């Protein structure tokens, strides 16, 4: 089905609702993400962008793809702001994913420092996409601080555990007016599909692709699942019965009735 | 992605893994199922096929689509066998979905009568696709009786409740050598996708489409979700962490580390 | 809380709703089940009851405890009937748990053979408690065949996986008039508690106790969890909100409101 | 089973692991909580404690029960601190539950303001028990600020939805060294039992009791379920099989084997 349904972030329009999360920038993963998953946004750890090794990696990014530098490695707002500015100086554009972690075991975002960095960077003209632990009060603060989207985690990054925060991501979708992009923890296409059915605006993934047996095929699966979930959301999902069954055929009933 | 992956039932090859379950045969539903969900098999309650009203319905079925008459209304093996034979006489072909229900509230299949009907019909040359309550011993009996596929329910028909029998459908997929087609109860594309990721061969649905807000869009969503789940299954899904997280980027770690 | 709430099977009254499933009859397990879990019914594999080794085991069973011989090892109705008769001859009483398995990997009960054995044994005056795969049609047949209770599995025996058949056990509880005793797969007290909250009449367990770190303490935990679930069922569980929250305190609201 | 297992908060020992959350202080609820649920700690909205109406309510609190004033109604740290001090002046002791909410629809705690209030009150000698949204970084900050316990919500308050934050409460239990008390959203004894099996130190509830059909019986059910969960945690829960089954009886196997 062709639709005019588009994802808009920072005034820019995207057809695709799959975003490649930061990770191993193998040529193979980037190719698969763009060619098979249809990614139009690719996340990149900025620390890699100013090394010789990284120059090659930037060469891999196809034209027309929006680069989303992230502040991976930052432990507080100040470090994140510094990384974001460096990214812009390096020519990575004005989109930035704020990612601030204090916790080395679960790699959970520091919501409070993320709010601070978002406020500073939004004022400097960045399109700020903050990675966050799904907390309604924090999401409101992020929007007030100028966030262009809110990016709650589904479960701990790299875990492939799926929608452990389902209930609270639904609350964000219901209450927050910027696009909700589910980031981290999505392990299977069906989970991406479910998040989209709930009303998420997009899905960010990396580990689910990187750990799959066949990368291009899994990339293609994610693209289709995300499109399916979006369509289902737009179509309107049918009611669920609490008890009993319902014959779909009005003629159902027994032969001799 | 183009693949040579095909669903084979009774020696016949199908590209599509979505089967339209029996239900209200509105022109709109059949059109949506074929055009947007890509259905190549459409179920039809036989009792409708010998009425004047039904002649019109048969006219709706596009060329190239395999008709799957079902024995809806049958309360025992004998009635099911009679309906199946009638269907063949009416020119509906030799595929038949055996559907025997005793229970009017939950419309759960009668496994034992289904085995009996399957045995008789398979001997008469039918391609028998039995609807069943997911029970490993029964699935084995059905295969021994000559079933071409086994069609376990996900949850009570028309309930849109999803994979309530998940654990036991997985056992069927792991242990039974004919295609496992998940039938009844699938309410959302994400559930169809998950069943396919588990290794189901196809999905049958009707109510999920019929109760959706926008039928063609939901039909399209199901097609994509089913293809996504199939691809994910073929690609091989990545490992799930029990505890902790895993940085997808080998460079992840803190700035001053 | 003291109540007059009793479990009645075959005209016999029980205070306890924990039944010790068949398993390793170590002195320790039997003691724990009776002393700490409050078991008044203990299952015993009949094949052990006519060996010298078993004579010791029968000695372990405290007075006042009802022995529930099972037909473990039977692969069809005929074998089960033979074992049940043997048990009665050996003085094990007229209670019998019919347990017929064809499948060595998942050890799932053969519903159809179980119906046959139940019918024969009920006519011979046994109090028949059939172990079954939770299927409403089969449960009805078992009751018609004279079953005193119906014993659906929660998940594969010994798996500790919990209520994988939740949806269908609820249907049995709602539709079947004899006590529904959840048997096999219950791995934790919270799962036993949930089954009781749903309206189950009793819980049978063995592996959950046998694999626990501290057997007597886990036995005690099961007893309390089962009593808790029963009380909650009798008390009536409160409504669940679909969305939003509800201040429990009518004074909740903000200071300056 | 008698054990020496005790809950210690602020140097004070408690036998009971059920805490009555704040709510409608009907005589009936307090009586049920103390008599049937065994509550030794009862939460009280401080705003009620300085009214005439409230004087009666304080009279209801039995001797030996620890009063836990909460800061319900506070929208920021400053207001919470003021309420806490008022409570101490009114003779409510030095325990305080910090509860700061900005959000009127979901009543979710404001983690950041809660950290601030905790720090101030802990320095003033209060035993601070902060209600919080389960976020590992915040829990660490609360402990560093001097919190005596951490009280994460299970799901939105009053919703009876259960352990929607299961995954993240487990992380708190695994990583945080003060008692984790699960507060808000627990709707059934089985859910309280599960939280205790996971290693929670105690459960706070109110709505689950207040909305039950029979208050004293439900109170008793909660007490038993919480004790059961605690015992199961201490005993050590058995392994769960990923696939297959496991005969509990070493003699299981077929008759003619």
Query: What 3-state DSSP class applies to A57?
Result: helix
Cα B16–Cα B206–Cα A194 angle in degrees, nearest 5: 75
Of the given ranges (A69-73, B160-164, B240-244, C206-210), which has the lowest mean pLDDT? B240-244
The arithmetic mean of pLDDT across residues D139-163, rounded, is 93
The chain B residue lying nearest A20, using CA atoms, is B248
State phi, psi for B67 to the nearest 5 degrees: -85, 135
Residue of A232, A242, A254 to mutate for B, most B C-beta atoms under 10 A:
A232
By the 8 A CB rule, do D245 and C159 touch?
Answer: yes
pLDDT greater than 90 at residue A104: no
Strands B18-20 and B41-45: parallel
pLDDT at D1: 54
* Mean predicted lDDT score pLDDT of chain B: 87
Other CB atoms within a 10 A radius of the CB of residue A48 amount to: 18
pLDDT greater than 90 at residue A242: no
Tell me which residue has tokens 């951490």. D150
- pLDDT 10s digits, A176-214: 999 999 998 899 999 999 999 999 999 999 888 888 888
The closest CB to that of D135, out of A111, A167, A171, belongs to: A111
By the 8 A CB rule, do C228 and D221 touch?
Answer: yes
By the 8 A CB rule, do B19 and B39 touch?
Answer: yes
pLDDT at C256: 42
Q: pLDDT band for position A3 (50/70/90)?
A: low
The arithmetic mean of pLDDT across residues B149-154, rounded, is 96
State phi, psi for A7 to the nearest 5 degrees: -95, 125
The arithmetic mean of pLDDT across residues D10-34, rounded, is 83
Comparing C253 with C2, the larger pLDDT belongs to C2
Q: pLDDT band for position C56 (50/70/90)?
A: low
- Residue D142 CA to residue D122 CA, distance in Å, equals 10
H or E element, residue A225: helix A215-235
pLDDT at C132: 96
pLDDT at D250: 47
pLDDT at C23: 65
Of the given ranges (B45-49, C177-181, D126-130, D185-189), which has the lowest mean pLDDT? B45-49
pLDDT greater than 50 at residue A257: no
Two tokens, residue A91: 């020519």
- Residue C201 CA to residue C230 CA, distance in Å, equals 8
Cβ neighbours of residue B35 closer than 8 Å, sequence gap 6 or more: B216, B219
Q: Which of residues 184-243 of B touch A (CB under 8 A)?
A: 187-191, 193-194, 197, 206-208, 210-218, 220-225, 227-232, 234-241
Other CB atoms within a 10 A radius of the CB of residue B29 amount to: 22
The closest CB to that of B133, out of C106, C135, C140, belongs to: C135
- pLDDT 10s digits, D187-232: 999 999 999 999 999 999 988 888 888 888 999 999 999 999 999 9
Comparing D114 with B59, the larger pLDDT belongs to D114
pLDDT greater than 60 at residue D253: no
pLDDT greater than 60 at residue B54: no
Two tokens, residue C53: 């080794």
Q: pLDDT band for position A106 (50/70/90)?
A: confident
Residues of B with a catalytic annotation lie at: 97
Q: Is C165 on the interface with B (CB under 8 A)?
A: yes
The DSSP symbol for A36 reads I
The chain D residue lying nearest A171, using CA atoms, is D106
By the 8 A CB rule, do A169 and A139 touch?
Answer: no
B138–C111: do the CB atoms touch at under 8 Å? Answer: yes
Percent of chain A whose pLDDT exceeds 70: 88
Two tokens, residue A257: 């009735």
Nearest to D17 by CA among D230, D232, D237: D230
pLDDT greater than 90 at residue C188: yes
Comparing A234 with D157, the larger pLDDT belongs to A234
H or E element, residue A66: strand A66-70
Percent of chain C whose pLDDT exceeds 70: 88
CA distances from residue A226 to A35, A124, B237, D103 in whole angstroms, order as listed:
15, 33, 16, 31
By the 8 A CB rule, do B72 and B43 touch?
Answer: no
pLDDT greater than 50 at residue A101: yes
Comparing D72 with C158, the larger pLDDT belongs to D72
Residue of A77, A101, A119, A136 to mutate for D, most D C-beta atoms under 10 A:
A136
Comparing A87 with D115, the larger pLDDT belongs to D115
By the 8 A CB rule, do C155 and C184 touch?
Answer: yes
The arithmetic mean of pLDDT across residues B57-72, rounded, is 82
- Residue B208 CA to residue A239 CA, distance in Å, equals 9
pLDDT at B133: 95
- Residue A210 CA to residue A85 CA, distance in Å, equals 29
Residues in chain B: 257
Global pTM value: 0.90
By the 8 A CB rule, do D149 and D179 touch?
Answer: yes
Which positions of D make up the binding site for 1-deoxy-D-xylulose 5-phosphate? Answer: 158, 184-185, 206-207
Q: pLDDT band for position C15 (50/70/90)?
A: very high
Percent of chain D whose pLDDT exceeds 90: 58
pLDDT at A201: 97
Two tokens, residue D124: 């003033």
pLDDT greater than 60 at residue D256: no
Strands (E) located in chain D: 7-9, 12-14, 18-20, 41-45, 66-70, 95-98, 127-132, 151-152, 181-183, 202-205
For residue B105, which residues of chain C lie inside 8 Å, CB to CB? 175
- pLDDT 10s digits, A161-181: 899 999 999 999 999 999 999
Cα dihedral: C242, C243, C244, C250 (round 10): -30
For residue D164, which residues of chain A lie inside 8 Å, CB to CB? 166-168
Other CB atoms within a 10 A radius of the CB of residue B133 amount to: 24
Q: pLDDT band for position B58 (50/70/90)?
A: low
Strands A202-205 and B7-9: unpaired
Q: Is B137 on the interface with C (CB under 8 A)?
A: yes
Ordered DSSP codes for D94-125: SEEEE-BB--TTT--B-HHHHHHHHHHHHHTT
pLDDT greater than 50 at residue A132: yes
The Cα of D169 is separated from the nearest Cα of chain A by a number of Å equal to 11
pLDDT at D92: 83
Other CB atoms within a 10 A radius of the CB of residue D204 amount to: 26
Strand order in the sheet with D202-205: D151-152, D127-132, D95-98, D66-70, D41-45, D18-20, D202-205, D181-183
Strands A41-45 and A66-70: parallel
pLDDT greater than 80 at residue C192: yes
The Cα of B58 is separated from the nearest Cα of chain A by a number of Å equal to 16
Residues of C with a catalytic annotation lie at: 97
pLDDT greater than 90 at residue A246: no
Side-chain-side CA neighbours of C73 within 13 Å: the count stands at 24
Q: pLDDT band for position C110 (50/70/90)?
A: very high
Strands (E) located in A165-222: 181-183, 202-205
Chain centre distance of CA D78: 24
Describe the crossing of helices B189-198 and A215-235 by its angle, rounded to 10 degrees. 150
- Residue C115 CA to residue C130 CA, distance in Å, equals 8
- Residue D196 CA to residue C19 CA, distance in Å, equals 23
Percent of chain A whose pLDDT exceeds 90: 58
Nearest to C205 by CA among C186, C221, C229, C230: C186
Q: pLDDT band for position B91 (50/70/90)?
A: confident
- Residue C176 CA to residue C174 CA, distance in Å, equals 6
- Say whether C144 counts as a known binding-site residue: no
């Amino acid at each position: 089905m062709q639709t005019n349904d588009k994802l808009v972030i920072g005034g820019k329009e995207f057809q695709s609702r799959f975003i490649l999360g930061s990770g191993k920038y193998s040529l193979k993963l980037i190719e698969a993400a763009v060619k098979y998953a249809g990614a139009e946004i690719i996340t990149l750890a900025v620390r890699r962008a100013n090394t010789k090794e990284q120059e090659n990696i930037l060469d891999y990014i196809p034209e027309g793809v929006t680069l989303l530098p992230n502040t991976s490695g930052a432990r507080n707002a100040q470090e994140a702001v510094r990384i974001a500015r460096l990214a812009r100086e390096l020519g990575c554009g004005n989109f930035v994913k704020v990612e601030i972690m204090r916790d080395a075991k679960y790699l959970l975002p520091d919501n409070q420092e993320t709010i601070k960095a978002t406020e500073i960077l939004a004022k400097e003209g960045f399109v700020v996409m903050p990675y966050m632990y799904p907390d309604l009060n924090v999401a409101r603060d992020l929007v007030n601080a100028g966030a262009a989207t809110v990016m709650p985690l589904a479960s701990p990054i790299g875990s492939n555990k799926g929608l452990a925060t389902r209930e609270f991501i639904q609350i964000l979708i219901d209450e927050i007016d910027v696009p909700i992009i589910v980031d981290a923890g999505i392990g299977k296409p069906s989970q991406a599909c479910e998040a989209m059915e709930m009303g998420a605006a997009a899905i960010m993934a990396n580990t689910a692709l990187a750990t799959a047996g066949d990368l291009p095929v899994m990339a293609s699966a994610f693209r289709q699942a995300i499109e399916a979930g979006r369509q289902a959301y737009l179509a309107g999902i049918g009611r669920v019965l609490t008890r009993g069954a319902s014959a779909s055929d009005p003629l159902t009933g027994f032969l001799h009735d």
